[in-house]
Amino acid sequence: MMPEQFPIAFLFIIAGLIVAFIPQGRGRVSFTMLVPIFAAWMIWNLQPGVYGQVEFFGLPMEMMRVDKLSTIFGLVFCLASFIGNLYAWHVRDTVQQVAALLYAGSAIGAVFAGDLVTLFIYWEGTALASVFLIWARRTEGAYYTGLRYLIIQVGSGVILLAGIVLLHGETGSITFEKMTLGSLATWLIFLAFGIKCAFPLLHNWLQDSYPAATITGTVILSAFTTKLAVYALARGFPGTEILIYIGAVMTLFPIFFAEIENDLRRVLAYSLNNQLGFMVVGIGIGTELSLNGTAAHAFAHILYKGLLFMSVGAVMYRTGTSKASELGGLYRTMPITAICCLVGAASISAFPLFSGFVSKSLILDASASNGYTLVWIALVFASAGVLSHSGIKIPFFAFFAHDSGKRPKEAPTHMLIAMVFTAFLCIFIGVFPEPLYALLPYPVDFQPYTTSHVVGQLQLLLFALLAFCVLMRTGIHPPEIRAINLDSDWTYRKFAPMVITKIAAVFSSVWTYQTTFWLGTFDRIVEGFYHSHGPEGRIARVWPTGAMVLWIAILLAGTLLVSFY
Convert the pLDDT of each residue in 264-288 to its tens digit. Answer: 999 999 999 999 999 999 999 999 9
Quote the pTM value.
0.86
Question: Does 321 lie in the same domain as 206?
Answer: no
Question: Does 180 lie in the same domain as 280?
Answer: no
Least confident of 106-120, 304-318, 334-348, 465-479: 465-479
Question: Does 538 lie in the same domain as 411?
Answer: no
Question: Does 320 lie in the same domain as 227?
Answer: no
Give the count of domains, the chain.
Answer: 4
Question: Does 89 lie in the same domain as 19?
Answer: yes
pLDDT score at 488: 66
Average pLDDT of the segment spanning 382-406: 84
Question: Does 333 lie in the same domain as 197?
Answer: no
Domain that holds residue 179: 1-237
Residues 6+ apart with CB under 8 A from 307: 340, 341, 343, 344, 347, 419, 422, 423, 426
> Greater confidence, 261 or 277?
277
Question: Does 337 lie in the same domain as 407?
Answer: yes
DSSP string for 226-248: HHHHHHHHHHH-TT-THHHHHHH
List C-alpha distances in Å: 472 to 147, 331, 340, 388. 39, 20, 24, 11
pLDDT score at 530: 63
Read off the pLDDT band of 564 (50, 70, 90).
Answer: low
pLDDT of 535 strictly over 80:
no
Question: Does 246 lie in the same domain as 232?
Answer: no
Average pLDDT of the segment spanning 94-121: 94
> Greater confidence, 487 or 445?
445
Beta pairing class for 59-66 and 49-56? antiparallel
Convert the pLDDT of each residue in 370-379 to its tens digit. Answer: 989 999 999 9
pLDDT score at 482: 64
Question: Does 310 lie in the same domain as 203?
Answer: no
Average pLDDT of the chain to the nearest whole number? 88
Read off the pLDDT band of 257 (50, 70, 90).
Answer: confident
Under DSSP, the state recorded for 183 is S
pLDDT score at 1: 47
Convert the pLDDT of each residue in 470-517 to its tens digit. Answer: 766 776 666 666 656 666 666 666 777 788 888 888 888 888 888 888
Question: Does 419 lie in the same domain as 406?
Answer: yes
Average pLDDT of the segment spanning 128-156: 93
C-alpha to C-alpha distance for 303 and 72, rounded to whole angstroms: 13
Question: Does 297 lie in the same domain as 179?
Answer: no
Question: Does 232 lie in the same domain as 255?
Answer: no
Long-range contact set of residues 335-338: C-beta below 8 Å, sequence gap at least 24: 335/410, 336/410, 336/411, 336/416, 336/419, 336/420, 337/311, 337/399, 337/410, 337/411, 337/415, 337/416, 337/419, 338/311, 338/395, 338/398, 338/399, 338/400
Convert the pLDDT of each residue in 30-56 to its tens digit. Answer: 899 999 999 999 999 999 988 888 887
